[in-house]
Amino acid sequence: MTTLRTGVKFLLRLGANILAFPLLLNYWLKALFVGKDRALEGSTQALALWPGLIGQYVRRAFLAWTLDECDPSATICFGTIFSKCECRIGPKVYIGPYCSLGSAHIEQDVLIATAVQIPSGGRMHGIDDLTRPIREQPGVWSIVKIGAGSWIGSNAVVMADVGQNTVIAAGAVVTKPIPDWVIAGGVPARIIKYRKSPETQTGQNEQGPEKE
């Protein structure tokens, strides 16, 4: 049974690569004129509309060629788009429907729920020069890391690193790094509860969760 299942998965992945090939050709041609990141965003908008299991396989095949990393065991659901080729998706990652990812490094076993946004940091648009429109001011792109085993709830916006085995509540806005083994929520997100005793966690705030 295991051998049969492995064979079926191999055939599905082979078929997905064949289906993805025309899309890859289109991406490579567009990248020559508009750059890899803009070409990626446009291509993943189209790929996001492929429904069901076939869509998951084709998206994964395409992203394995275009992102810095997309593990064969990852799941990327309907409606999810990518805007930066330096994104990394580790083993057994689940990315739910209608998500938007920029320069993100998603470590293994991470769960990302519906409509989560992980942009390329929190300073993508400059605002300091009051004499110029915000759209004309340079921003700073940074890589946002989601630690292994973490769970990001629906509609969260994550603009800073999240530690390992941490839970980010639905609707939270992460503007500062969140450590390992905690539950965080709110706007802006703050520690609500420790999943482990703070004394057992290296580098934790010894005063415990933040107070209102």
Give me the active site residues, please.
125
Q: What distances in angstroms separate CA 183 from CA 74, 189, 198, 206, one per listed residue?
A: 24, 10, 12, 16
How many other C-beta atoms can be found within 10 angstroms of the C-beta atom of residue 121? 18
Alpha-carbon distance 4 to 109, whole Å? 25
Query: Hey, what are 89's tokens?
Result: 């998706």
Q: Mapping DSSP to helix (H, G, I), strand (E, B) and coil, where does residue 12 land?
A: helix
What is the torsion angle, in degrees rounded to the nearest 10, for the CA atoms of residue 147, residue 61, residue 64 and residue 66?
-120
Integer Rg of the chain from CA? 19
Closest CA to 62 of 144, 74, 118, 106: 74
- b/e sequence 97-111, b meaning 16+ C-beta within 10 Å: ebbbbbbbbbbbbbb
